[in-house]
Structure 1
């Protein structure tokens, strides 16, 4: 049996989300545990949507099988955070319970072998995008990272390969993005409409070879598919991106996933980050990006 007493900072969180994040369970596993009365709140069963209150006593009577830890590429780790390199074709996390293997699952399996509690996700990266993913190792660090991300004090830079030559060495893409949730597609608009959000991306061309540009993008806003749809709207779709680019062109290049990677993260905060202020000014970056080597060998990133 395991038990937890809910602290003030955890109050208000849904019961299902608490267990999925704390234990690394998917939703179907949690629902089975709840249905078989192996999860108790103050000695009784509650609904998945129950909002935790300070002082609540949670008990789990679930016996879990030990699973071998799959490899995780750790870029940085301390007592508060862990930064890992997410491969393309792997989900960051999955709250639906449909996927048995996500990066969060792998990280938490590794932490479990060390006898450490599960990590908390603070953001995600698209399935077909690779690169740096941050996770918090405790609730206090999670709260700080959530706040720093909202205040845009964690800077994320991406590398991508796009069709054609970008206009100028440096530039800025700005527009209104509207997401069609049914189609899971984002549209760039010239004027605001109901439901649209402003998106701003700064870019710098790092190299140009054989009709392709290697571009570094810095997000000033964090919108769904921001780089992919803005680059396509500007006439320079990402190589490998069938949703916003040309499937025929991508197949000609034998690329089936967008060449986009979150390769650099900088902690642009100071003392306002509290327990994480020691990270002020620190940059975590990838030393190697496979598509850079493939199309722009010798280019320093």
Structure 2
């Protein structure tokens, strides 16, 4: 038998969704059977899979102990195997803004990498005493956005379930403004422009193709840029995504003849080698909270803007 007392991070979830997170070893078939046969009870009464949980509720599962993890020692936490050092841009009781460096993956990849940004973040909060896995039934501090391994920049983490819910919705509704810095090989035809094209993703090769023609297989992309500096060979540009597609900045800029410096997939390895650059010069360097709807417990963030202190390639092309 296992008893869960619902806390603030658990509240609002459906019974079935909560159980899947709190007891991952429990098969869905056993869960559904337990609810049907009243072996799973909420406040000592029968419940449905769609019943919403409230803070203070007591959920009891009269099921075999083999379905529940009992080891709450720190040794079983995978995130403790990762370093706890992160670069913090801003932090409060609800959120954490981190400056992810090029080369670090945000989540575990196919190679089973343990040193990820999410593991570092959880280790960091664990060491500060702000995250106690043993006290949580279903919530873990989570990342709200992600960046490719070879793209650096601002990544947002939520420290509680309500912040995670709000931020996920704000990102979906495009109420956060993110701007990127990049170095382009060449000079774009215009100093600034808002470009529209169509992108097709080949999942097998993990590459995308950009075209001027719409088909039933590709998706619209809109990319806004402005050139900040240029020496005639390289250009430092600020880019804003008005749509968010896979490899959009890299592929769209390459499509207009100005690939990113250091990009081996859509750019020129010969050019990259000539500058000694082994990773793409692309950084998500600025974030602004621009809520058009109520921000709930995060309303205080509305209108605030955060920028990384220094992007590694900002002055590189001038030196060259």
TM-score, normalisation: structure 1: 0.82
Q: Deviations over 1:53-78 (max 9, x none)?
A: 64576953233325574310000011
Shift of 1:80: 1.0
SS in 1 for 2:187: coil
Per the alignment, residue 258 of structure 1 pairs with 280
Structure 2 residue 125 is matched with structure 1 residue 111: yes
Give the deviation of 1:296 after TM superposition. Answer: 3.7
Q: 1:127 aligns with which of 149, 153, 162?
A: 149
d(CA) in 2 for partners of 1:195 and 1:56? 48
CA contact (8 A) 1:2 1:61 kept: no
Q: Where does residue 236 of structure 1 map in the other structure?
A: 258
Partner of 1:275: 297
1:196 CA displacement: 2.1
Structure 1, unpaired ranges of 5+:
20-39
Q: What residue ranges of structure 2 are gaps of 5+ in the alignment?
A: 33-48, 54-58, 62-66, 132-139
Offset, 1:87? 0.7
Distance in 2, Cα, partners of 1:241 & 1:176:
20
Structure 1 distance, partners of 2:128, 2:246, is 35
Q: How does 1:30-179 map to 2 (within 5 A)?
A: 40=23, 45-46=26-27, 54=53, 55=59, 60-62=69-71, 63-65=73-75, 67=81, 69-94=83-108, 98-117=112-131, 118-179=140-201
**Which structure is larger by alpha-carbon Rg, 1 or 2?**
2
Are the equivalent residues in 1 in contact too, given 2:195–2:222 (CA < 8 A)?
yes
Render the CA deviation track for 1:210-263: whole Å, top value 9, x for unaligned: 500000001111111110000000100000001001112111211111100000
Aligned counterpart, 1:28: none
Supply the distance in 2 between the matched residues of 1:171 and 1:215 (Cα, whole angstroms). 11
Superposed CA RMSD: 2.9
1:70 aligns to what SS in structure 2? coil
Pick from 222, 227, 249: which aligns with 2:249? 227
Deviations 1:164-196 (A, max 9, x none): 111222111211111111000011122222342
2: CA distance between counterparts of 1:273 and 1:135?
A: 16
Secondary structure of 1:199 counterpart: strand
Residue aligning to 1:215: 237
Instruction: Give the match's secondary structure for 1:292.
Output: coil
Contact 2:82-2:120 at 8 Å conserved across structures: no
TM-score (norm 2): 0.77
Tell me, yes or no, if the aligned pair for 1:271 and 1:277 is still in contact at 8 Å: no
**Alpha-carbon distance between aligned partners in 1 of 2:266 and 2:199, rounded to the nearest angstrom:** 14
